[in-house]
Amino acid sequence: MTAEDAGPAAKRARTDDAAEVADAPMPDAAPDAASEGEDFAKYTVTELMKLYYSRLFPHQDFAKWLAYGNDSKHAQADSQYFQRREFCFTLEGDIFVRYQSFKDGDELQAALVRRLPAKIDIGPVYNVDPQRRAAVAGGERAFAPVERELVFDIDMTDYDSVRTCGKEGHICHLCWPLMAVAIKILDEGLREDFGFNHLLWVFSGRRGIHCWVCDDRARQLTDEQRSSIATYFAVYKGEEKGLAKLALSYIHHPAVQRALEALNETWIETILPNQELLENEGNWEAVLAYIPDEDVRDTLRSRWQAGRVLKMADDSINVARWHDLVAEVDKAAHKEKDLKRKGALSRCKDEVVFAYTYPRLDMEVSKKMNHLLKAPFCIHPKTGKVCVPIHPERAFDFDPDTVPTVAQLLTELDSNNGKSSMDDAVEVFHEAFLDKLQLASRETLAAKARSAAAKPTLAW
Amino acid sequence: MYPAPPVGDVALEDFERFAIDRLRVLKGIEDAKSRGKKGDQLQGAVKDLTDKHLAAATGKRKADTWKDQVSHFVLRLAYCRTAELRRWFLQWESELFRWRFARQLSDDQAHFMRVHGLPYIEIDQAEFRELKDQLRTVQLSMGNKAVADEINKAANYTFYKVPFEQVPDLVASRRVLLKRGWAYVAKHDVPSLVVGHFRANLSKGLVETARKWASQIAHEEEDRLTPIVESLSIRYLGPDYGDAAQQGKRGEVSAGQIPSLVKSFPLCMANLYDHLHTDNHLRHGGRMQFGLFLKGIGLPMDEALKFFRAEFAPKMASDKFEREHAYSVRYNYGKEGKRQDWTPYSCIKIISQTPGVGDYHGCPYKTMDAPSLDAALRRLRIDPKKITEAVGKAKGGHFQLACASAWAGAHACSCDTGINHPNQYYDESRKVLDPTPTADAAANGTPAAGKGAPPMTPATEVKPAARSLLQAAAANNAPGSAPPRLQPY
């Protein structure tokens, strides 16, 4: 059931029609032409948006991406392709303006500067220009999405029960490795298992990450296929009775095993010490709850309370206690005669690692072709941070605290002769994603041309 | 595979009778599955159902095929009209196909695949050797030790290599090895592969049919097939609590009455009400589940807005409520967004949800641990004996039975019908606690306080209205004139 199911006669919700919403007025205090050395930090994010959209937002590269080669003069290029893509603007006061579409990057930029959306969402490519959906023969029923990137959304708030450094909107270098390892696991899985090549990873501006899988094949997936991929990755299934629910088998599927190896490394090196998960009683009880044996729990508890754990020179207390836990569980599993209990014991170490570190996906976002997702290079309205691309190979080096804010960028722009950290973000966009994508898009068009040439034609 | 509809004449009554028989099969499979039947048990159930309902009376193979084809295409017409109907039909037709295909001998399966041109590449020796260990691990991860051993011993075990898009169910359950976009499907999983094909074709076919139906057939057949087809599609799930006629069957409910009605709410809803009332907030999943339930018991939209606004009020200013939450209330009532008149969630839907941290929706018999469940039921003042019973059943994974125990504990009589919908729990409760028959209920033929009377019309019963329409249609069709002909749509 999609939005187009509403009857054509039904008056659309207040949010739908672009024409009904007046252009955003410029706030009086807004800096229109920045004078030398102005301190942009004193303005609100909204006030800075006009400068951002007109001087920094990389609309040309952005449009190049979403045109997938159809902006070229190639005979097989579909010049209407970009125009059929839905954009949704969120204006001040949470007014959604859906079904926007544009001819090209310039037209998009003009609209951005005029409307100053707090947020831009990208929707699917439809069978017709979404602005003209009402004019389609057969009414709005015949208006349907035909293509859409496969997207993933991971939000730090879903990790609140397993992180100790902060909650909700909080994100810092201590919990970032959770996101970095999520990138690693999904990136590997999507490339090696599903054969996708064009993955764009983006910081969502505040507390999470997005992934756009842009291969031709990914864009054509049906909802059912999208859902199957999301479920394939969903080892973490939510929480029940205070424990993570995990879809694990006794012997791991090769993809799950590969994930575990990546997780084990991050677990010991960063997450366990960063989050101090075995530092004090409050934290370690949550970990011990995964051990299905009262005696083992008691032994560990009393030893840790008494402070009797040998600490290797460069291990933190958390890592030392983890090794202690592993040894104790292994010992108990070795002694256990009952096969079922033995299995449960030897599995519980993996369960802890999966529960604390495995990517927690927002499944609904990935399942539907027509789900909107915030565009890269947006400015987060609360933090003022840019939704910058992340190079998946350097995900662990990424620091959410140093992501440039719009005020910072504008200051840089003024003092550095038109240069700013935005250039770095755009370079990552090119290097990690766009350059290879454009090569592939050209190849797709060439292949289309070859198959068109091979087809018998009626033109004699 | 049903590539094209059968060509020939179908008597009008066969048209409907065949379709109803097939519906019995599809509905039967759904019931069997919801009761947790799996594997051989489910296979047996499907076989019984098809033998009973889909075999033509004459017992001839040709007649069987005819009935199978006709009934399939009639239901395609009946279930093509909305996405909801299509999803239901697609799911259970595919399930039926899966079991019928699996029952065939492997030679017949191979024949079937050849005839329908399903081009699956068998992997060669070299590839098998290279992937052997991983293929084995996948089998072990599913607990198929026998197959894993066979792979280990054999120089070759048949695996097919297909694009992953063709086997979404195997991908979702991690029952295949995936490599660069290829899924390696073991020979015993071939039914899934073929079902995937079947499903994709049927899905495409249904969309096509829907388009034709809306633009052409519905109008042309207005006096004849349309009423039959439309009535067929409303018979699949028992009462539909989203149906406007059902809502407030026992009269409308106002916002002010809700606190006094909580005693008739099932635990999942009482729990949401509690949290809403004490926290003055509910997260999205909870608002959907609870809001739609309230709609189902007859709370009109204006009252729902009033209710939620008042409950949120201590922590949220009215304008903030208007901005952030009024939309979702109106949405539930089909006044915003997709403008769909949403149906209250059934138990199956609620049980299948996995609420996150800070969420209170879902089925408490599934999400709560024994002590919290026990405490929650105590708060509802339920007979302690029944609480123990309910907690025990919840532990055993029988969530709906647990809910029925709680119902019995709260009403001091047993609920013969079982619980499969929160609104049904409520309706049954009202019948006991407030046995004033309303005019509407009497007119609907629902005995308001009838003890043990089944509250639902059997899903496959022919509705009088449909029958008379059918008769009217048949009357137009005087003997001798041409019976309806199925066109290849």
* Whether residue A345 is found in the same domain as residue A408: no
Whole-angstrom distance, CA of residue B312 vs CA of residue A83? 42
* Whether residue A144 is found in the same domain as residue A159: yes
* Whether residue A324 is found in the same domain as residue A423: no
Q: What is the mean pLDDT of chain B?
A: 77
Contact B172 A231 (CB under 8 A): yes
Q: Look at residue B185 in the predicted model and tell me its pLDDT.
A: 92
Whole-angstrom distance, CA of residue A396 vs CA of residue A177? 6
Per-residue pLDDT for B269 more than 70? yes
DSSP A449: H
Nearest chain B Cα distance for residue A244, angstroms:
10
Nearest to B174 among A232, A240, A250 (CB): A232
Q: Which residues of B touch A239 (CB under 8 A)?
A: 356-357
% chain A with pLDDT above 90: 62
Domains of chain B and any CATH numbers: 10-103+195-234+458-473 (no CATH), 115-194 (1.20.930.80), 255-433 (no CATH)
Range with the poorest average pLDDT among A332-341, B193-202, B463-472: B463-472
Whole-angstrom distance, CA of residue A164 vs CA of residue A356? 11
Contact B356 A255 (CB under 8 A): no
Q: Average of pLDDT values for A331-349?
A: 91
Q: Look at residue B449 in the predicted model and tell me its pLDDT.
A: 37
B278 contact A CB<8A: no
Q: Look at residue A124 in the predicted model and tell me its pLDDT.
A: 96
Q: Token pair for residue B389? A: 């019973």
* Whether residue A94 is found in the same domain as residue A126: yes
Per-residue pLDDT for A104 more than 70? yes
Q: Which residues of B touch A197 (CB under 8 A)?
A: none
Higher pLDDT residue, B185 or A458?
Answer: B185
**How crowded is residue A19: how many other Cβ atoms within 10 Å of its Cβ?**
8
Q: Token pair for residue B131? A: 């992937």
Per-residue pLDDT for B245 more than 70? no
Per-residue pLDDT for A332 more than 90? yes
Nearest residue to B237 (alpha-carbon basis) of B84, B125, B68, B107: B84
Q: How buried is residue A230: exposed, middle or buried, by Cβ count under 10 Å (0-12/13-18/19+)?
A: buried
Range with the poorest average pLDDT among A233-242, A398-407, B40-49, B369-378: B40-49
Crossing angle of the two packed helices B267-279 and B422-433, in degrees rounded to 10 = 90
A245 contact B CB<8A: yes
Whole-angstrom distance, CA of residue B133 vs CA of residue B145? 13
Per-residue pLDDT for A179 more than 70? yes
Q: Is A187 a catalytic residue?
A: no
Chain B contacts in chain A segment 255-274 (CB below 8 A) = 255-257
Range with the poorest average pLDDT among A288-297, B90-99, B176-185: B90-99
Contact A241 B367 (CB under 8 A): yes
Q: Token pair for residue A433? A: 């994603």
Per-residue pLDDT for B233 more than 70? no
Residue A239 domain flag: no
Nearest to B138 among A194, A222, A253 (CB): A253
B182 contact A CB<8A: yes
B59: number of CA atoms within 13 Å, CB side? 0
* Whether residue A144 is found in the same domain as residue A130: yes
Last residue of a domain, one of A357, A386, A402: A357
B474's enclosing H/E stretch is: helix B464-476
Whole-angstrom distance, CA of residue A37 vs CA of residue B407? 72
Question: Which residues have CB under 8 Å from A252's CB, separation 6+?
Answer: A260, A350, B137, B141
Q: How buried is residue A327: exposed, middle or buried, by Cβ count under 10 Å (0-12/13-18/19+)?
A: exposed
Range with the poorest average pLDDT among A141-145, A167-171, A189-193, A267-271: A141-145
When divided into structural domains, chain A yields a total of: 2
Higher pLDDT residue, A165 or A66?
Answer: A66
Q: Average of pLDDT values for A434-439?
A: 95
Q: Look at residue B463 in the predicted model and tell me its pLDDT.
A: 37
* Whether residue A400 is found in the same domain as residue A333: no
Contact A94 B323 (CB under 8 A): yes
Question: DSSP string of A326-392?
Answer: HHHHHHHHHH--SHHHHHHHHHHHHHHHHHHHS--B-HHHHH-TT--EEPTT-B-TTT-BB--EE-G
Last residue of a domain, one of A342, A357, A372: A357
Q: Token pair for residue A322? A: 């983890």
Q: Look at residue B181 in the predicted model and tell me its pLDDT.
A: 95
Q: Average of pLDDT values for A110-125?
A: 95
Q: Specify the 3-state DSSP secondary structure of B36.
A: coil
Per-residue pLDDT for B352 more than 70? yes
Q: Look at residue B238 in the predicted model and tell me its pLDDT.
A: 45
Q: Which residues of A touch B83 (CB under 8 A)?
A: 1-2, 5
* Whether residue A264 is found in the same domain as residue A411: no
* Whether residue A331 is found in the same domain as residue A375: no
Q: Average of pLDDT values for A102-119?
A: 95
Was B415 annotated as part of a binding site?
no
pLDDT digits (tens, 9 = 90+) for B289-325: 999 999 888 888 888 988 998 888 888 887 888 877 8
Q: Average of pLDDT values for A45-68?
A: 91
Greatest Cα pair distance in chain B: 76
Whole-angstrom distance, CA of residue A197 vs CA of residue A437? 8
**CB B178, CB A255: distance < 8 Å:** yes
Nearest chain A Cα distance for residue B183, angstroms:
9
A339 contact B CB<8A: no
Residue A371 domain flag: yes
Last residue of a domain, one of A317, A337, A357: A357
Residue A237 domain flag: no
pLDDT digits (tens, 9 = 90+) for B124-142: 888 999 999 999 999 999 9
Question: Which residues have CB under 8 Å from A77's CB, separation 6+?
Answer: A69, A70, A71, A445
Nearest chain B Cα distance for residue A443, angstroms:
19
Per-residue pLDDT for A146 more than 60? yes
* Whether residue A139 is found in the same domain as residue A278: no
Band of pLDDT at residue B62, cut at 50, 70 and 90: confident
Q: How buried is residue A156: exposed, middle or buried, by Cβ count under 10 Å (0-12/13-18/19+)?
A: buried
Q: Look at residue B263 in the predicted model and tell me its pLDDT.
A: 87
% chain B with pLDDT above 70: 79
Residue A238 domain flag: no
Among all residues of chain A, which has the CA nearest to that of B327?
A13
* Whether residue A66 is found in the same domain as residue A191: yes
* Whether residue A81 is found in the same domain as residue A213: yes
Among all residues of chain A, which has the CA nearest to that of B82?
A1
Question: DSSP string of B421-473?
Answer: -HHHHHHHHHHHH-----HHHHHTT--SS-TT--SS--TTPPPHHHHHHHHHH
Return the ∠ at Cα A405 (arms to A182 and A208), rounded to 5°.
20
Q: Is A86 a catalytic residue?
A: yes
Greatest Cα pair distance in chain A: 92
Q: Is A153 a catalytic residue?
A: yes
Was B347 annotated as part of a binding site?
yes
The boundaries of the domain holding residue A411 are 9-232+363-451
Nearest chain B Cα distance for residue A333, angstroms:
20
**CB B159, CB B122: distance < 8 Å:** yes
Nearest chain B Cα distance for residue A147, angstroms:
15
Provide the ipTM.
0.86
Contact A194 B84 (CB under 8 A): no
**CB B422, CB B268: distance < 8 Å:** yes
Residue A75 domain flag: yes
**CB A420, CB A409: distance < 8 Å:** yes
Catalytic residue, chosen from A155, A158, A215, A328, is A155
* Single-letter code of the amino acid located at B194: V
Q: Look at residue A138 in the predicted model and tell me its pLDDT.
A: 59
- What dihedral angle (degrees, nearest 10) is formed by the CA atoms of B326, B332, B336, B339? -170
* Single-letter code of the amino acid located at A277: L
Whole-angstrom distance, CA of residue A266 vs CA of residue A260? 10
Whole-angstrom distance, CA of residue B346 vs CA of residue B359? 18
- What dihedral angle (degrees, nearest 10) is formed by the CA atoms of B28, B33, B37, B40? 70
DSSP B376: H
Q: What is the mean pLDDT of chain A?
A: 86
Higher pLDDT residue, B446 or A421?
Answer: A421
Q: Which residues of A touch B323 (CB under 8 A)?
A: 93-94
Q: Which residues of B touch A256 (CB under 8 A)?
A: 141, 174
Contact A252 B137 (CB under 8 A): yes
**CB B186, CB B139: distance < 8 Å:** yes
Catalytic residue, chosen from A129, A140, A147, A153, is A153
Nearest to A254 among B137, B172, B214 (CB): B137
Q: Look at residue A323 in the predicted model and tell me its pLDDT.
A: 92
The pTM score is 0.68
Per-residue pLDDT for A459 more than 60? no
A3 contact B CB<8A: yes
* Whether residue A126 is found in the same domain as residue A197: yes
Whole-angstrom distance, CA of residue B182 vs CA of residue B159? 12
Q: Average of pLDDT values for B235-259?
A: 62
* Single-letter code of the amino acid located at B318: S
Contact A255 B178 (CB under 8 A): yes
Chain B contacts in chain A segment 291-330 (CB below 8 A) = none
Residue A242 domain flag: no
Contact B323 A245 (CB under 8 A): no
Contact A238 B165 (CB under 8 A): no
Catalytic residue, chosen from A4, A86, A121, A215, is A86
Chain B contacts in chain A segment 14-33 (CB below 8 A) = none
Q: Look at residue B35 in the predicted model and tell me its pLDDT.
A: 66
Per-residue pLDDT for B242 more than 60? no
Question: Which residues have CB under 8 Å from A270's CB, separation 6+?
Answer: A177
Among all residues of chain B, which has the CA nearest to that of A244?
B356
Residue A240 domain flag: no
**How crowded is residue B82: how many other Cβ atoms within 10 Å of its Cβ?**
14
Whole-angstrom distance, CA of residue A355 vs CA of residue A362? 16
Question: Which residues have CB under 8 Å from B145's CB, separation 6+?
Answer: B139
Chain B contacts in chain A segment 99-138 (CB below 8 A) = 138
What CATH number corresponds to the domain at position A132?
A: 3.90.920.10
Residue A243 domain flag: no
